[in-house]
């Protein structure tokens, strides 16, 4: 299947998130650090990247994350809004690659690249 017919390089999604207590570094073991954890920021980036393509995904196909290279450069406290922007930068067969950026209400907090692979959901779930 040629996925270039479903998606176009340059397509972008922008999503907003509110940092909740369960998104903090404290929850993952950094006791007393009540700011957005890197894993939560990455989760926001993964979700926004999926939103770039999910509405156009062929039936019974999904995306799964396979590689991420990001920097988390500024902190964000609980209850602050985080805006994530993900832009599709390449389609190579079943591999999708994105530029991702995250901002809080004051500054850029993270950036990098993210890759997903397109999977046939039925085959993927029956693999194990």
CATH for 3-125 (2.30.29.30, 3.90.76.10, 3.10.129.10, 3.30.70.1430): 3.10.129.10
> Residue 18 to residues 31, 40, 111: CA-CA distances in angstroms?
21, 11, 18
| CA gyration radius, the chain | 16
Q: Tell me what pLDDT residue 128 has.
A: 59
Q: Tell me what pLDDT residue 1 has.
A: 84
Tens of pLDDT, residue by residue over 70-87, are 999 999 999 999 999 999
Query: What is the value of pTM for the model shown?
Result: 0.94
* Long-range CB contacts (within 8 A, 24+) of 8-11: 8/88, 9/88, 9/89, 9/90, 9/91, 10/87, 10/88, 10/89, 11/52, 11/53, 11/87, 11/88
Maximum C-alpha span of the chain: 49
Tens of pLDDT, residue by residue over 26-61, are 999 999 999 999 999 999 999 999 999 999 999 999
């Amino acid at each position: 299947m040629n996925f270039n017919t479903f998606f176009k390089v340059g397509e972008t999604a922008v999503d907003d998130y509110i940092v909740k207590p369960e998104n903090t570094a404290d929850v993952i073991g950094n006791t007393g650090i009540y700011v957005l954890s890197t894993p939560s920021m990455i989760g926001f980036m993964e979700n926004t990247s999926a939103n770039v393509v999910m509405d156009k995904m062929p039936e019974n196909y999904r995306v799964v994350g396979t590689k991420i290279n990001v920097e988390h450069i500024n902190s964000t406290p609980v209850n602050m809004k985080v805006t994530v922007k993900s832009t599709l930068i390449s389609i190579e067969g079943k591999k999708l690659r994105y530029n991702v950026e995250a901002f809080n209400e004051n500054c850029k907090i993270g950036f990098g690249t993210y890759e997903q692979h397109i999977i046939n959901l039925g085959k993927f779930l029956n693999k194990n």
